[in-house]
Amino acid sequence: MAENGGLSTSRGSYGASEFDGVDVESSTEFAAVPDAFQRLWTPHRMVYIEEGQQPQEHACPFCIAPSMSDGKALIVARGEHCYVLLNLFPYNSGHLLVCPYRHVATYDEATPEEVAEIGSLTQTAMTVLRTVSNCDGFNIGMNQGRIAGAGIAEHLHQHIVPRWALDSNFFPIIAGTKAIPRLLGEVRAEIAAAWPSDHSD
């Protein structure tokens, strides 16, 4: 196979280990994948670009994530029935998702054990996010069904979005641009380090 040198394949040139196992794209590679919603800096999108932009029918990202390393899947904590990971498309830095391991779509399909652990992991996430980020409040909830805004409607997930008093600015409205100020790998490592290790006991 001849190398023509015309296409860079060295996406590891940033040094993935720097971000705790999360691969990052170069700015030139990202510039070749434009979309209508401009982003100032979005290294987290590489995970979806690698996997194909939309999850395939038999490739639910919330089913696959637990089989990957924490760093690669952006997982911050694993419980007995559910786990917690960073959202790839965060509304804010530290935007977490709590998912059951089982592939169930809606809250009423979750077992009592899953419901209880979604609750307890959500409480722990609030405590941890308050500690590491000094947030002033949270938006917490579930979109049930695509019509209600669920991006991955097939697999139940609860959003936990930390909020700060000054986090809403004119950017998303005026410029169609949302600034995500911190790299996801960095944020994941910080939250995982602050997560109490005895949670699921």
Catalytic residues: 157
Is residue 138 involved in binding Zn ion (CB under 5 A)?
Answer: no
Q: Which of 65, 115, 114 is nearest to 87 (CA)?
A: 65
Is residue 132 involved in binding Zn ion (CB under 5 A)?
Answer: no
Number of Cβ within 10 Å of residue 74's Cβ equals: 28
Answer left, alpha or beta for residue 134, where phi above 0 means left and psi between -120 and 50 means alpha.
left
Q: From the CB of 103, what's the least distance to Zn ion, in Å?
A: 3
Measured from the CB atom, the residue of 56 and 197 that comes closer to Zn ion is: 56
Tokens found for residue 68 = 């990957």
Of 49, 60, 126, 140, the residue at the interface with Zn ion (CB under 5 A) is: 60
Is residue 155 involved in binding Zn ion (CB under 5 A)?
Answer: yes
The number of residues that bind Zn ion (CB under 5 A) is 5
Q: Segment 80-119, which members bind Zn ion (CB under 5 A)?
A: 103
CA of residue 70 relative to chain centroid, distance: 12
Of 16, 49, 63, 140, the residue at the interface with Zn ion (CB under 5 A) is: 63
Query: What is the spatial distance between Cα 177 and Cα 166, in angstroms, rounded to a whole number?
Result: 17
Tokens found for residue 61 = 């990202």
Chain positions contacting Zn ion, by CB under 5 A: 60, 62-63, 103, 155
